[in-house]
Amino acid sequence: MKTVAVITLGCSKNRVDTEYVISGIKQEGFVITNDIEKADWIFINTCSFIEDARIESIDTILQISENKKEFQTVCVAGCLPSRYGQELKDGFPEVDVFAGCGNLDKVIEMMRSGHGYAVTRSDSWIPDKFIRRESSLSPYTGFLKISEGCSRKCAFCAIPSIRGPQKSISPDIIVSEAESLLSQGVKELVVIAQDTTMYGTDKGYSLIDLLQRIDNIDGDFWIRLLYLYPSKSVLEIAKTISTGKHFTPYLDIPLQHTSNSVLKFMKRGYNFSFVNDLFSKLRSDFPEIFLRTTILTGHPGESITDFRELKRFLETFKFNHLGVFPYSPEEGTQGYKLSCPSRKSAIARARSIMELQKNISRDLLAGMKGQKIKVLVEDYDEENMIVTGRHSGQAPETDGLTYLSEGDYLAGSFVNVVVSNTSEYDLIGSLSSNDDINS
């Protein structure tokens, strides 16, 4: 029996790409293995979005290359070959197959032959028919990618040059994938894209119609939305999830910054007034929704005054969840050759924001003590001997957890929990005695 070892680096979109490829490899009769040394095929899906991701990808390829056996076929796919192509091929002669983001449909054919190079710059592959895949994140949570690529021109972002313009997946295919994942026991569908808000604008599809179709599927499950671009359509999306049956009261809206000067440098297409109005309306009209955002520090044009303005907004608005990244100048982007604060300064500013957010999160979670919440039971933490899960306001991988005590729990089930204690990012609770819940 032939085996394949799989290494996926980077974002959730990469994870879904890997799941598509693995679905095809399994049809070739291969079995997934964690034993890399004995695997017949090794598939590495790489990331090159920022410098840290490139280093991780290159280090992984180096390690695999140095230990490769004669009988093994190694494939390096995804963002790194899409971005560096022939240069990568020349640097790693031990690798047998290279496939860009737009050439994932060629992977199996090339690995079967033992060699191959298929890299189309600034392109991405999307399925043109339903492909049954299994969630590699968790048996109970699966990502539902609705489009690939991005047609925006943010000055800091290399995604359009790596994955090309937006390509929306057919709603029929997406709904079939949702039904398939749910039939396998998945209890949470996490809707993702490079820019979820823009879904369908390239092909005449409607995001709202798609969400309603998924919401109309029978069953007890959650639908969670990530990666919404700050735009007027966010309010319509918020209304849709607040009136639906399965949506979590949660929106992830990467903001990046609030200073007019920095937003102009970033080419984000909005200003502070728009940001303030949008998020104020979200808070007033949909107070039940948990809000997450992402911030970028040290971008070209960011002065200490701009940073303090950003920090004041975050301190006043108080996001439920927040991620922050220090700026990484990316070759091929509009901001690459612009002067910017030092890397040291960008990192220090990022740490300052996370310290602020830690206190905000602690205070917001403390306010949930005594509340009854619905929790998806996920795992057993052997080190702490406690069951873990997430409530509707906690996204997988990025947010905190809900620790469960005093009760018998079945992984993959929803339970009603009373919050008994909180920390900076996590909740602690036990089974509720009744079915009334707050979220």
Domain positions in the chain: 3-118, 141-366, 372-431
Give the whole-angstrom CA distance, residue 42 versus residue 48. Answer: 19
CATH of 3-118, one of 3.40.50.1360, 3.30.70.270, 3.40.50.12160, 3.40.228.10: 3.40.50.12160
141-366 fold: pyruvate-formate lyase- activating enzyme (3.80.30)
Q: Angle at Cα 178 formed by Cα 173 and Cα 181, nearest 5°?
A: 120
Give the whole-angstrom CA distance, residue 250 versus residue 140. Answer: 18
Contact 82, 162 (CB under 8 A): yes
Residue 213 has pLDDT above 80, yes or no: yes
Half-sphere exposure of 210 (CA within 13 A, CB side): 30
Instruction: Assign domain 372-431 to its CATH superfamily.
Output: Nucleic acid-binding proteins (2.40.50.140)
Contact 14, 79 (CB under 8 A): yes
Burial of 213 (0-12, 13-18, 19+ CB in 10 A): middle
Q: What are the pLDDT digits (tens) for 154-188?
A: 999 999 999 999 999 999 999 999 999 999 999 99
Q: What are the pLDDT digits (tens) for 118-142?
A: 999 999 999 999 999 999 999 999 9
Residue 436 has pLDDT above 60, yes or no: no
Q: In Å, how far are 14, 37, 73, 141 from 40, measured between CA atoms?
A: 22, 9, 6, 29
Nearest partner of 254 among 299, 206, 195, 306, judged by Cα: 195
φ, ψ dihedrals at 47, nearest 5°: -130, 145
Average pLDDT over the chain, rounded to whole?
96
Residue 438 has pLDDT above 60, yes or no: no
Q: What are the pLDDT digits (tens) for 354-370?
A: 999 999 999 999 999 99
